[in-house]
């Protein structure tokens, strides 16, 4: 059987959400974050759809940046994890990539190489996330050192990453912003702090460049909110179809572990989607699924390639289309019910299923 589950990607919605980021921070430039295959939406397709509207792109790895260049993307591309080897630095020089420097081991590699042309670098500072970044208080030293470096085209952009911006009540963002602004004072360089949550919720983080990611794909960066609350349009619709419809009797048990019993004589449907497609196994029985304009509910456990849904009072037959998330069912809600965040569901589904593009 042809695989029935696919991710439909609405590139018009992607552009709408990018406009939303631009409007939220009108005086900042935009580095659109398309790491992890554009959060499962397709690296090159997403880049092509956004290139005329964005000032640059950010990816995690050099290989992703090279793929963008090979696809003809000519705007600045920042590699967020930077480089680990001399070869990666040579690729950066050849393809005019901007390399994040977050660790002194990277400086050593830069010192020991002679590049054919100087490259753009970005200094990443740790202001409290304690993941990647040079110590914030040492920024003057690193800035001077890199401005004078033979392999660097100065001045470096200076950035930091926010740990708690998705929580509007948290005071941690204020602490990070204060530290970043105090330490970078007097340095003549562009700066960047805001992810999606910073872009929409913390104007003081906008600086010269915003770095929106998840909001571009139409899901809210804030806990407990969905796309609609933030005027975003979901980009991915995860679709599948019904491959069986049965009548079952009251008390009949459904799926692995026989965890769910039919409460009455009823019709159920089997959808050809499961955790192999990126539909989360942790999603509890009773979670919503959209069928023929109705909200149905899952029954029992999610299998590898199937789920069972309740078709009581829902007219549906084999072959009918089912939406697992998208414009009718927010992925934010499905993520919440399965104890994770939309980022994870989008990456898993988008990278596991065939993608079909609309509105190129």
Q: Which residues are at the interface with ligand PLP (CB under 6 A)? A: 33, 35, 80, 161, 195-196, 211-214, 221
Q: Of the two residues 103 and 320, which places its CB atom closer to ligand PLP in the complex?
A: 103
Nearest to ligand PLP by Cβ — which residue? 213
Q: Of the two residues 6 and 39, which places its CB atom closer to ligand PLP in the complex?
A: 39
What are the distances in angstroms from CA 64 to CA 35, 42, 79, 80, 195? 8, 11, 8, 11, 20
Helix, strand or coil for residue 357?
strand
Q: Does 229 sit behind a cis peptide bond, omega within 30 degrees of 0 on the bond before it?
A: no
Least separation in angstroms between residue 101's CB and ligand PLP is 13
Q: Of the two residues 115 and 172, which places its CB atom closer to ligand PLP in the complex?
A: 172
8 A C-beta contact, residue 240 and residue 274: no
8 A C-beta contact, residue 62 and residue 86: no
8 A C-beta contact, residue 14 and residue 235: yes
DSSP calls for 98-155: EEEE-SHHHHHHHHT---SS-BEEEEEEESS--SS-EEGGGHHHHHHHHHT-TTB-SP
In the block, which residue shows the tokens 């010192």?
A: 111
Q: Which residues are within 8 A (CB) of 254 and not within 5 positions of it... i.e. 6 or more apart?
A: 248, 260, 261, 262, 268, 299, 300, 308
Least separation in angstroms between residue 159's CB and ligand PLP is 7
256 in active site: yes
Least separation in angstroms between residue 254's CB and ligand PLP is 36
Q: Of the two residues 220 and 287, which places its CB atom closer to ligand PLP in the complex?
A: 220
Active-site entry in 83, 142, 217, 256: 256
Least separation in angstroms between residue 17's CB and ligand PLP is 11
Q: Roughly what angle, to the nearest 10 degrees, separates helices 172-184 and 139-147?
A: 50
124 in active site: no
Cα gap 100→157, rounded to integer Å: 9
Q: Of the two residues 133 and 255, which places its CB atom closer to ligand PLP in the complex?
A: 133
Region of residue 107 (left: phi > 0; alpha: psi -120 to 50; beta: else): alpha
| CB neighbours of residue 268 within 10 Å | 21
Q: Of the two residues 227 and 242, which places its CB atom closer to ligand PLP in the complex?
A: 227
Least separation in angstroms between residue 78's CB and ligand PLP is 9
Active-site entry in 35, 217, 275, 279: 35
Least separation in angstroms between residue 250's CB and ligand PLP is 46
Which residues participate in catalysis according to the annotation? 35, 256
């Amino acid at each position: 059987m042809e695989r029935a589950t696919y991710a439909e990607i609405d590139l018009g919605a992607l552009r709408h959400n990018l406009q939303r980021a631009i409007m939220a921070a009108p005086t900042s430039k935009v580095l659109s974050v398309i790491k992890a295959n554009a959060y499962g939406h397709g690296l090159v397709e997403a880049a092509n759809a956004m290139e005329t509207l964005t000032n640059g792109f950010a990816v995690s790895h050099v290989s992703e940046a090279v793929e963008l260049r090979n696809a003809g993307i000519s705007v600045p591309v920042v590699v967020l994890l930077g480089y680990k080897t001399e070869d990666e630095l040579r690729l950066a020089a050849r393809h005019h990539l901007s390399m994040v420097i977050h660790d002194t081991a990277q400086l050593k590699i830069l010192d020991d190489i002679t590049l054919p042309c100087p490259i753009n670098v970005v200094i990443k500072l740790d202001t409290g996330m304690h993941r990647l970044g040079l110590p914030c208080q040492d920024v003057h030293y690193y800035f001077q050192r890199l401005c004078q470096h033979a392999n660097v085209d100065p001045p470096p952009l200076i950035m930091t990453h926010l740990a708690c911006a998705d929580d509007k009540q948290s005071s941690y963002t204020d602490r990070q912003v204060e530290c970043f602004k105090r330490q970078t004072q007097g340095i003549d360089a562009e700066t960047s702090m805001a992810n999606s949550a910073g872009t929409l919720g913390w104007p003081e983080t906008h600086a010269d460049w915003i770095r929106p990611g998840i909001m571009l794909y139409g899901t809210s960066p804030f806990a407990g909110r969905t796309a609609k609350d933030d005027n975003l349009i979901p980009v991915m619709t995860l679709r599948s179809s019904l491959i069986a419809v049965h009548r079952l009797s009251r008390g009949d048990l459904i799926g692995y572990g026989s965890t769910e019993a039919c409460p009455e004589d009823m019709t159920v449907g089997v959808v050809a989607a499961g955790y192999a497609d990126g539909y989360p196994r942790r999603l509890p029985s009773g979670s919503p699924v959209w069928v023929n304009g109705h909200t149905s509910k899952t029954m029992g456990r999610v299998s590898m390639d199937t789920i069972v849904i309740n078709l009581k009072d829902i007219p549906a037959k084999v072959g009918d289309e089912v939406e697992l998330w998208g414009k009718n069912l927010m992925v934010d809600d499905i993520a919440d019910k399965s104890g994770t965040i939309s980022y994870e569901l989008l990456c898993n589904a988008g990278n596991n299923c065939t993608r079909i593009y609309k509105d190129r």
